[in-house]
Structure 1
Amino acid sequence: MKTVSTNDEFIAGLQHLPKPHYPFPDFTHPDMQKQREEYYEWIDKEYAFQSTEAREKHKKHHLTDIAARGCPFLKDIAELRPLANYTANGAMMDDYFDRCSRDEMYQIMNKIIALLSGEDTQEPKENGIFHLFWILRQDAMKCEIPEKIYKRFVKSIKDVLIGYSEEKVYYRTNTVPPLPVYLLIREATSGVQPYCDYVLLQKEYRNLPEEIFDHPHIKRIYSLCSLMIGIHNDIISLPKELQREGDTMNIVKVLQKENNLSLFDAYKKSMEIHDEYLKEFLILQEHLPPFGEHQNNVYNYIQDLGIMIAGVYAWHTNDTSRYVNGGYVEGEFPGWNQ
């Protein structure tokens, strides 16, 4: 076989390489289109500080579809709205602050968590990223998300934002991290743990005892969900990230450097790791600890986490605008002192 010598050659042959596949059904929330319309309104109203080009690109990405596919069994759009807000605002925010510093990202995180937790009860005076997070909390209270689940959701969002902060060290220096560091940060930045918490609002899972979700067996399943989605996101976004300096938090790039591999072999190794995680997920689902009367409900909850994984991947494979040349929204944050 000919050695793949350039990024362009590799990208040209990428469609012929194996892709992630999940043994879970794919569903969509019945209010997916209605949530899209609200998403367009959020961009026009709350993201007016961004360039017209950036806003139009965001609209094409249909980021709220991720929530509608990841949690398709939420009872109505009122329950879908906070997750859609976290997903779209979180992704657009990540784009906007793409090249900020680690310290700046921690400042941003502290402002967001103060608004989400209710520590800061004041509505931001200006529309924008922080105002949308304030709205998220108001919407969560309106649909009466149980306090214990909402607190878990906010704590998980904080962990995502910590991941965003820590990856800035590698982005700003155009440095590829070691694999253990990548896995630690990517588990957070995949943004999946808040989804695992939000799946609890579907069906009757909100009534399961709190200690079940802190069991090491279930926490490992959460990690596997986060890592699988992080890796499949890296696979999808690889063509964009091969052509853009600073996009170093990608498992293919990490394995290529760490093991001195060709892009083809690093891609293949990435898929092997992903598939091992999927195999582990299925084994852990089939061999749950004894949860007594809650056994079937916990099993079904894990199954719906699988449906969440498949739903997020379905968004990735249906999207044709975000991870292509010219489709990505470049960071426009000028820094606090400018």
Structure 2
Amino acid sequence: MSNENFNPLELLRTKFRYPFPTLKNPHADQLQEITENQWIDGEYMWLYQNNPDLRKKYKKTKTAHIAAQWFPTASAERFRPICRLMLWTLYNDDLYEESKPDDIDDVHAQSIAILNGEMSVSQSTIPLASMLASLRQELLQFIPKESMYRFTQMISRYFSGLKKEQEYKKNKMFPTTAECIVLREDSICLYPFLQLTEVETGITLPPEIHDHPVIRRLQALACHLVTFFNEVQSVVKDEATDSIYYNIVKVIQNEHSISLEEACLEDLRLHNEDLKEFIALQASLPDFGIWHEAVVNWVHYMSMVLSGWKNISTKLDRYNAMEFPQTNELKERLSQF
């Protein structure tokens, strides 16, 4: 099958469908202004002080507008740490996308130590230390330490996934499709955001809710669904940056020796299977007693992450054009730390 007339982005627009509402936080513009002026060109300007073009690319990613689709009802005050986290995920992904696997370990350990309050910014040697320290301080205004610990565990999962990605890339080896789905479930970095619904709602659910197999499965499915969408969306970028070894579409293509279009359609099939399961679980949640209404609401918010991601990401140049930071720009900056 020829790829000559195949457009992955058109497939996303027409075939990846979500039967969920799409809402947007009314404070998006306010927090985007803070992101651009107080953070990118303020607190964290020193990271890319001599590279205004790169800072412009980060501004054009509109991280607050992405967060606004995922947390549509958060107050401006509660929305702030969520937007800081969104910017951190972008910076961290780009900084370490080209790192050696072993280098990730130290960044991982220091990041978790800062989030747990076990390391100060002055003790740290990682460039994003102050961002993480501010994030911890802001989150603890709204969630208890137990919730903060759960959030930090999910950040740890992300770093573990990131390291595995770099191992495959370093060795120029493809995982199996099943292995790649498990890997990307962690590295997509959605789990941390799914823990922060209680920042938005002000309701802290007990551990037994978080540990319930249905809730765990729904979160895993949400991660899969965003990943399946993302892989089609970023396949051109990943080919350009040699990140094909952990893009599910490219893994499928390699595993079955098929065309890019056929691999994207298989990715869509897997996506639709998981979407069907998500919808079925959402419609038949077990009885959670006094917490039932809050759990139903949480799953509802999970579903809006899916529809919201499609709604916003298909409009952003970072995900639909070659507007991502260049490898040499990032390597040069990282080498200075």
The answer for the alignment partner of 1:4 in structure 2 is: 2
Q: 1:241 aligns with which of 220, 232, 238?
A: 238
> Does the CA-based 8 Å contact 2:114-2:133 persist in structure 1?
yes
How much has 1:209 moved relative to structure 2? 2.6
The answer for the alignment partner of 2:158 in structure 1 is: 160
Alignment of 1:1-338 (within 5 A): 3-5=1-3, 9=4, 11-12=6-7, 14-15=9-10, 18-40=14-36, 41-45=38-42, 46-50=44-48, 51-74=51-74, 76-123=75-122, 128-141=127-140, 143-203=141-201, 205-206=203-204, 208-325=205-322, 327-331=323-327, 332-334=330-332
- CA distance in structure 2 between the partners assigned to 1:13 and 1:38 by the alignment: 33
Normalising by structure 1, we get a TM-score of 0.90
Q: Deviations over 1:69-100 (max 9, x none)?
A: 101122x2221122211211111221122210
- Secondary structure at 2:195 match in 1: helix
* RMSD (Å), alpha carbons: 2.3
Q: Which consecutive unaligned segments of at least 5 residues does structure 1 have?
A: none
| Aligned-pair identity (%) | 26
- CA distance in structure 1 between the partners assigned to 2:283 and 2:124 by the alignment: 50
- CA distance in structure 2 between the partners assigned to 1:203 and 1:192 by the alignment: 18
- CA distance in structure 2 between the partners assigned to 1:138 and 1:317 by the alignment: 33
How much has 1:16 moved relative to structure 2? 5.4
- CA distance in structure 2 between the partners assigned to 1:13 and 1:21 by the alignment: 15
Q: Which consecutive unaligned segments of at least 5 residues does structure 2 have?
A: none
How much has 1:126 moved relative to structure 2? 9.1
> Does the CA-based 8 Å contact 2:175-2:246 persist in structure 1?
yes
- CA distance in structure 2 between the partners assigned to 1:295 and 1:314 by the alignment: 29
Distance verdict in 2 for CA 1:87–1:204, change over 3 Å: closer
Distance verdict in 2 for CA 1:12–1:121, change over 3 Å: closer
> Does the CA-based 8 Å contact 1:70-1:312 persist in structure 2?
yes
What is the aligned residue count?
Answer: 329
> Does the CA-based 8 Å contact 2:9-2:232 persist in structure 1?
no
> Does the CA-based 8 Å contact 2:110-2:126 persist in structure 1?
no
- CA distance in structure 1 between the partners assigned to 2:273 and 2:30 by the alignment: 37
- Secondary structure at 1:119 match in 2: coil
| Higher share in helix | 2
Deviates more, 1:45-54 or 1:106-115: 45-54
Amino acid at match of 2:23: F
How much has 1:246 moved relative to structure 2? 3.1
Amino acid at match of 2:81: P
> Does the CA-based 8 Å contact 2:8-2:233 persist in structure 1?
no
How much has 1:115 moved relative to structure 2? 0.9
